Chain A
Amino acid sequence: MSDRPGYRTVERPALTLADRLVFPAILKGMAITASHIFEKKVTMQYPEEKWTLPEYYRGVPSLVMDDENREKCVACSLCEFVCPPRAITIVPEERPGGGREEKQPAVFDIDMLRCIFCGYCEEVCPEEAIFMSKEYEVVGRSREEMVFHKDRLYEIGGVRKDPHRKWKNADDEARAQGRGHGHGPAQV
């Protein structure tokens, strides 16, 4: 008996003869196992078989091109800002070509060891350039390999056909008004 108040010692239950013989318990277990052989199979043969993922599934974040194979990302860095584990690194640069989306990412890295697949980056993106893909098999042999660079992120994301073309529309509109880029005469 414990002399500490509020505690009491529980007696071990005494083993019956059947318990002490062991075999009845083994047979009982085997019977349960055998009964499952005739039930419907639930095991999926991964990786030969794979899940059909729901629409809302959040896999590896990826970058997408528009239907003219142009980078949608303009390196606004909001995803880098919002990312809770700080997995994203962006170094912006000037985009050549004189379009209205003057900026693009020179470096866009996502550290998949840090990424928590929360989807904030997709949610915050004002350009609809970053999407949570259905990709979930993230493996690598080193930490460096687990940092996905821009080219790999585009490989995962691919092309996204959607009508969101605000920069191009503005460019077209400006061209229609005869307004170009760079030093020209002010409007007359």
Chain B
Amino acid sequence: MPRLSIDGVEIEVEKGTTVLEAARALRKDVPHYCWHPGLSVAGNCRICLVEVEGMRGVQISCNLPAADGMKVRTSSDAAVKARADVMELLLINHPLDCPICDQAGECKLQEYSFELGSGRSRFDVPKNHKRKAVEFSDRVVFDAERCIVCTRCVRFTKEITGTDELTVVQRGDRSEIDTAPGKSLTGNYQMNVVDICPVGALTSADFRFRSRVWFMEQTRTVCSSCSRGCNVLAGTRWNRVLRLVPAENAEVNRWWMCDRGRLDIREPAAEDRLAGARLMRGGVQVGVEPGEAVAALAAALAEARAAGGAGLFGLVSARLTTEEAWLARLLLRDHAGSPNLDLLPRTGEADGFLETADRNPNTEGVRAAGIAPAVGGFGLDGFRAAAEAGRVKWAVLVGEDLSGRPEDLAALAKVPFTAFIGSHDRGAAATATVVLPGATWAEKDGVLVNGDGRAQRIRPLVRCPGDARPESRILLDLLAAAGAAGAPDPSSSPAFLVKAMAAAVPALAGLTLGGLGERGAPLRGRTGVARVGTGVEV
């Protein structure tokens, strides 16, 4: 184990650790463009120069293995001067178009230039111009002038996705990143090259010019597009989610996320969002105060409870938070007595990297909260037959509208009383007896349990439209209106709800909202660590 000193601080590191990594372990951020913790070392940008006692000149710390007795100085005059010279060279042909560049505000060129740059260029020859606004695909736009040819993107396609679409063409100051003629970037992970680009050369077609980054509120939350539960940083402005970028979590998604999850940000602001409660009166839905709809549904549940609960079917979405699923179970099973609870499975194809086959973000949590058909009850599979036989008198859909499932909707039409609690005016919302406007994942605080048994916290990013509220609040009101025994108080905080749930559900014992921190924690008895490969082996 080599022991070295960095700026006078001793540190012992694993053999093979580079000086840059050792410095980072000491929280000394040596500037770097081409080095990325998830990619191989290229050592081409030369900005990570440090001075090492006994070695001639300055060394690039990203490719210098730590050796025993090494004495490194990261901010000596020689190192800083050398970096400033590198900075000056990198900016010779840079267009300096920060006012129109999407990277401005989170650009390493800006940061290091501010730190090391002189503020004026000594080069008065015309800049070497290159291609701009090159569409590498319909999702990624390339600007060759801004590029510093650090090859992070090239290494990403080579080492992580294995698609090998990008390469460096030409030489010297004419070097550019390019695809093969007529080819484009492909696949579900191509937008990661936008995130890892340290400058504004690669930009997202979806986010391009939408907002300067410093105007956005950045919130760490969890993607809800599949059961991987990738950690993300959501950028919001004007009460809209403008972009999702991956947030590092070594146990879940490392530094990456898929494009499908990243682009799945339109739902909160969709045209058909439900903003008000509705009640069916004389065959027509009329808008009512939410309290009235809650009372109507509570009255129907009282009837169902009086009838023993066997005629009540509850469909609880696996996109809801675990607390919401638990509250739904308290209401529909523990109070109203329904044995017929189920969730709606969504499946796709697992790609062996991040995207999983289970496209619901919280199947594990919802199952743990007790959403499953009881003995003698039926689930979603049995619902159609039961409804057609007239055995279902009441159906409560929480977070699922059955859109895109015409057979289930036809069966639902045979149920005398249906209630829909959810976010969009699709499918069941149009015909339900009671409609209560709910929230999307971007509007609630709660716990999702990913496919590896890791509990992670999602956070509210935007406000609900109109009367819409998170399902947890609606369910708490329903429990209070129904007079359910042992239900949490309607004013319970998200943290208290989790505590109450953890105390009631053995599978979730010990869970607290605060204990999840930024990166989540495995449920008891689970590893909570992603089991799949994280990129192709080189």
Could you tell me which A residues sit within 8 Å of B by CB distance? 74-78, 80-81, 92-94, 98, 100-103, 126-127, 170, 173-174, 176-177, 179-188
A81 near B215: Cβ-Cβ < 8 Å: yes
Give 9 A-B pairs besides A181-B133, A183-B131 with Cβ atoms closer than 8 angstroms. Answer: A76-B100, A76-B104, A81-B212, A94-B208, A100-B97, A103-B100, A126-B98, A170-B129, A173-B126
Tell me how far the C-beta of B203 lies from the nearest C-beta in chain A, rounded to whole angstroms.
10
Asked, given contacts A92-B209, A173-B126, whether A182 binds B131 with beta carbons under 8 Å apart, the answer is yes
B525 is an interface residue with CB less than 8 A from chain A: no
B99 near A126: Cβ-Cβ < 8 Å: yes
- Please tell me which one of the listed residues B135, B176, B208 contacts residue A182 in the complex, with CB atoms under 8 A apart: B135
Cα A93 to Cα B215 in complex, Å, equals: 16
Q: Which of B129, B135, B212, B215 has the most CB of A within 10 A?
A: B129
A182 near B133: Cβ-Cβ < 8 Å: yes
Asked, given contacts A81-B215, A94-B209, A188-B170, whether A76 binds B99 with beta carbons under 8 Å apart, the answer is yes
A76 near B133: Cβ-Cβ < 8 Å: no
Tell me how far the C-beta of A107 lies from the nearest C-beta in chain B, rounded to whole angstroms.
11
Cα A184 to Cα B215 in complex, Å, equals: 34
CB nearest to A73 among chain B residues: B99
Which chain B positions have C-beta within 8 A of A77? 212, 215
B169 is an interface residue with CB less than 8 A from chain A: yes
Q: Which of A80, A170, A177, A185 has the most CB of B within 10 A?
A: A170
Which chain A positions have C-beta within 8 A of B178? 186
Asked, given contacts A76-B212, A77-B212, whether A186 binds B127 with beta carbons under 8 Å apart, the answer is no
Which chain B positions have C-beta within 8 A of A93? 209
- Please tell me which one of the listed residues B132, B135, B209 contacts residue A100 in the complex, with CB atoms under 8 A apart: B132
Cα A181 to Cα B144 in complex, Å, equals: 10
CB nearest to B134 among chain A residues: A183
Cα A76 to Cα B99 in complex, Å, equals: 5
**Is chain B's interface secondary structure helix, strand, loop, or mixed overall?**
loop
Could you tell me which B residues sit within 8 Å of A by CB distance? 95, 97-100, 104, 126-135, 144, 169-170, 174, 176, 178, 181, 208-212, 214-215
Tell me how far the C-beta of B505 lies from the nearest C-beta in chain A, rounded to whole angstroms.
46
Which chain A positions have C-beta within 8 A of B174? 186-187
Tell me how far the C-beta of A64 lies from the nearest C-beta in chain B, rounded to whole angstroms.
16
Asked, given contacts A76-B100, A173-B126, whether A92 binds B170 with beta carbons under 8 Å apart, the answer is no
Across chains A and B, which 4 residue pairs bring their CB atoms closest together, nearest first? A76-B99, A174-B129, A179-B129, A103-B100
Which chain A positions have C-beta within 8 A of B170? 186-188
- Please tell me which one of the listed residues B129, B176, B209 contacts residue A186 in the complex, with CB atoms under 8 A apart: B176
Cα A92 to Cα B213 in complex, Å, equals: 13
CB nearest to A76 among chain B residues: B99
Cα A78 to Cα B95 in complex, Å, equals: 19
A81 near B131: Cβ-Cβ < 8 Å: no
CB nearest to B127 among chain A residues: A173
Tell me how far the C-beta of B199 lies from the nearest C-beta in chain A, rounded to whole angstroms.
16
Which chain A positions have C-beta within 8 A of B135? 182-183
Which chain A positions have C-beta within 8 A of B214? 81
Tell me how far the C-beta of A175 lies from the nearest C-beta in chain B, rounded to whole angstroms.
9
CB nearest to B129 among chain A residues: A174
B131 near A92: Cβ-Cβ < 8 Å: no
Which chain A positions have C-beta within 8 A of B169? 186
Q: Which of A76, A93, A180 has the most CB of B within 10 A?
A: A76
B99 near A186: Cβ-Cβ < 8 Å: no
